[in-house]
Amino acid sequence: MLTLVTGTTGQVGRRFVPRLLAQARHGERVRVLVRDAERGEPFAALGAEVVVGDLRDTEALGKAVAGVDAVVNVAASFRGVPDEEAWAVNRDAAVELGRAALTSGVERFVQVSTGLVYGSGRGRPVTEEDESRPGGTMWGAYPESKLAAERELLGLEGLDVRVGRLPFVYGEGDPHLAQSLMWAGEWAHTQRLHMGHHADVAQGLLRILYARGVGGRVYNIADDAPVTAVELHQLNGVEVPGELYERVDPDPWLVIMSTERIRRELGYRAVYPSAYAARDAGAL
């Protein structure tokens, strides 16, 4: 089995690929698509095949998927990029990759998406059956383009597509945890963020990749204990601004996800059920 992974130089991809390589069985190989050959060297040193090219280059996509059995599309463009770039990478390139995979005879395609596609809260943890309700403080080109990609990829007849929706990802030196204060500093003290450690994101994606008979299924991946704005400040060792206690959370269930499906169907159990468990284990 040859698996192609895109987005390998991002925060998720660079931590996912070593885990994919580490658990590979005899005869299983990994190929990575990178725009810069130098940035592919660490993966080559671990045993991955490296293809140099841009995800938005149709010719590069054909080369990348040639002979591939499975694709894990981790590539994403978000936070601070122009809307047109988010759409070009998150929807257009993802769909073209799916079409190239279909043409090449790829057996499985894992689309890495985001829990932000749910939009507004439901007054309970959102499930994979919930339709998107655009809106809320975190809505924008990123979730909108990711949702569009999901829909188009799942609609490609003949391609086994499965989707993993990620929470706010952190851990292992990822700067996201510190960056969370850009938003948490403006929240009410009770407002929550659903998180997932890189180790759990990786195991969730691996379970989705290797599971049989789950084509067309969508799975939420997250930990067991969303953290509040106050806890985010405490985890970062920063004093909690007093004004947080003066604000009211406008949507207490925004992007709080149920993980019942991935637990029940794929045996997922969070290695780090909370950010505090990761902190105590020295895994932040």
Per-residue pLDDT of the chain (284 residues; tens, 9 = 90+): 999 999 999 999 999 999 999 999 999 999 999 999 999 999 999 999 999 999 999 999 999 999 999 999 999 998 788 999 999 999 999 999 999 999 999 999 999 999 999 999 999 999 999 999 998 889 999 999 999 999 999 999 999 999 999 999 999 999 999 999 999 999 999 999 999 999 999 999 999 999 999 999 999 999 999 999 999 999 999 999 999 999 999 999 999 999 999 999 999 999 999 999 999 999 99
- Is the domain 2-280 a CATH 3.40.50.300 member? no
**Among the listed residues 231, 140, 224, the one whose alpha carbon sits nearest the alpha carbon of residue 177:** 231
At 44, is the secondary structure helix, strand, or coil?
helix
Residues 6+ apart with CB under 8 A from 114: 76, 142, 143, 146, 165, 166
The answer to whether 74 and 6 are in contact (CB under 8 A) is yes
282 by Cβ neighbours in 10 Å (0-12 / 13-18 / 19+) ranks as: exposed
